[in-house]
Structure 1
Amino acid sequence: MADDDVLVISTAAFIVIAGLSKRKKKKRWWTTKIYRNRLVTRGKLFLNDLMQEDGAHFRNFTRMSSDDFFYLLESIRDKITRSDTHFRKAITAEERLAITLRYLATGDSFSSLQYLFNVSKQVISKFVPEVCKEIINTLSQHVKMNG
């Protein structure tokens, strides 16, 4: 074989071997670990715990009774519900409403709410205005104006 042929074969073999021995990339997540564990650690479980108590804790937390909460939830559920994706579970309508009510009741910052519900402040800042809009649209029909 000529030197040129050996060089071409050696180069091709190197390229093939280098391509086969690539390291697998470490799996990347779109969210941090505390938010991935939201379904296990808090969120809906926290709301369920509040509702199982005597009712005063739930009322203090959301500033409304559980009956009023569920009435409002059923009124706006279809408009604030999002679908799960292959990458992550959607934040439930219950959690969206509870976070929004807690924000309206206390004026807590989104940073404070993110640790309470394990939902990132960026996501909270996107859905709170949407939920508020739907609350206004739903409850405006119950407000009677004297003119």
Structure 2
Amino acid sequence: MITDYDVAMSAMAVVILALNQPPNRRQRFWIRPSLRRERQLYRASELMKYLILDEEYPLNLEYRNDVGFTNFFRMQRSDFQMLLNKVGPKISKKNTSYRDAIPASERLAVTLRFIATGDSYHSLMYVLKISKQCISKIVPEVCDAIVEALQDYIKMPQSEAEWNEIAQVFEEKCNFPKCIGAIDDKHIALVAPFHSGSEFFNYKGFFSIVLMAVVDANYNFIYVNVGCQGRISDGGVFNNTFFKKALEENSLHLPPPRALPGRTTLTPFVLVADDAFPLSPNIMKPHSGIHDKGSKKRIFGYILSRARRVSENAFGMLSACFRVF
């Protein structure tokens, strides 16, 4: 039997639950009003006409400003268009009854500007008139599309003839025979991931992930490994890569050992590296310590360093062009 007391307690419970419920907040707007107004003006501005390529602004000679375009995106106009043709279908969104989607050209432009400058999403919001919430979704999506579209542009040599071509260029430019690449690491600064402790804290005093690469004499990346924790040494990063395993198993299709000019002893093709990497039959590094001027060890170290610097130069050009690195 239900009494008045039970009814009163039930009513009180309903009131308490209602008071504890969070308020039902309605979304105030799809796009911040200030950004909506500025974005309408921005899309009709001269900047958009010569920086962003889409069907609304065709390439007219009066709007060509290749210097400004290159400074803004760190690439030529033709490269931007080529990249847009490859990733456009992957990053395009459909318009809805609520609002128009951000065009693929602008989504690519936002990502390239972020990579070129390394600015925060909050800073890019005021430059490109797109909210930081949208930018935080656009950048990872477009980067994944770029990796998928350009994965065939960075690949390792697949035959002895290709390795011989790399060795020939090293010998012509660096005077180091039978060199098939320079190997080095670069620490890329990042914000420490949550609950990571000192996993990503490196010996230089900041949090980073490691980019390890093998570079040929023309500053082309022929192998890249990225993502290892910054606290791990260069040798430790190399030991955990596919490249080292393939090198030990002789599955890279390297040319067989040959004798150097004027010699009879067979010597293998080698990678040049610094002291942080382990010495092995296919990895050559300079002699440790300081040696007398004119000694064979010092001359060898000088020639090896001249060949090894191409990897450092490649990292320098990469970080100077795309400053997010």
Indicate whether the TM-score tops 0.5: yes
Structure 1 residue 65 corresponds to structure 2 residue 76: yes
Counterpart position of 1:77: 88
**Structure 2 gap ranges (5+):** 1-27, 53-62, 158-251, 253-325
1:110–1:121 CA contact under 8 A, matched in 2: yes
The offset of 1:50, in angstroms, is 3.5
More helix per residue: 1 or 2? 1
Counterpart position of 1:48: 49
Structure ID, larger Rg: 2
The offset of 1:39, in angstroms, is 4.5
1:55–1:65 CA contact under 8 A, matched in 2: yes
More strand per residue: 1 or 2? 2
2:66–2:77 CA contact under 8 A, matched in 1: yes
CA distance in 1, matches of 2:92, 2:149: 15
The Cα offsets for residues 62-96 of structure 1, whole Å up to 9 and x where unpaired, read as 00011000100010111100011111111110100
CA distance in 2, matches of 1:88, 1:38: 16
Q: Which has the higher contact order (CA 8 A, sep 6+)?
A: 1
CA distance in 1, matches of 2:91, 2:81: 14
The offset of 1:54, in angstroms, is 3.0
CA distance in 2, matches of 1:132, 1:95: 14
For the structure 1 residues 44 and 94, does the alpha-carbon distance in structure 2 shift closer, same or farther, using more than 3 Å as the test? Answer: farther
Alignment of 1:61-140 (within 5 A): 61-140=72-151
Letter in 2 for 1:85: T
CA distance in 2, matches of 1:30, 1:144: 43
Q: Give the TM-score normalised by structure 1.
A: 0.74
Q: What's the % identity of the aligned pairs?
A: 42
Letter in 1 for 2:83: L
Q: Give the TM-score normalised by structure 2.
A: 0.35
The offset of 1:38, in angstroms, is 5.2
Q: Which stretch of structure 1 is more off in the superposition, 42-51 or 114-123?
A: 42-51
The Cα offsets for residues 22-74 of structure 1, whole Å up to 9 and x where unpaired, read as xxxxxx53221123235522257433233724301101100001100010001
Q: SS of the counterpart of 2:72?
A: helix
Letter in 1 for 2:148: N
CA distance in 2, matches of 1:105, 1:85: 31
1:43–1:117 CA contact under 8 A, matched in 2: no
Counterpart position of 2:242: none
2:50–2:65 CA contact under 8 A, matched in 1: no
CA distance in 2, matches of 1:109, 1:123: 13
CA distance in 2, matches of 1:60, 1:111: 21
CA distance in 2, matches of 1:67, 1:145: 26
**Number of aligned positions between the proteins:** 120
1:76–1:135 CA contact under 8 A, matched in 2: yes
Letter in 2 for 1:133: D
1:44–1:94 CA contact under 8 A, matched in 2: no
The Cα offsets for residues 2-26 of structure 1, whole Å up to 9 and x where unpaired, read as xxxxxxxxxxxxxxxxxxxxxxxxx
Q: Which stretch of structure 1 is more off in the superposition, 104-113 or 52-61?
A: 52-61
Q: SS of the counterpart of 2:150?
A: helix
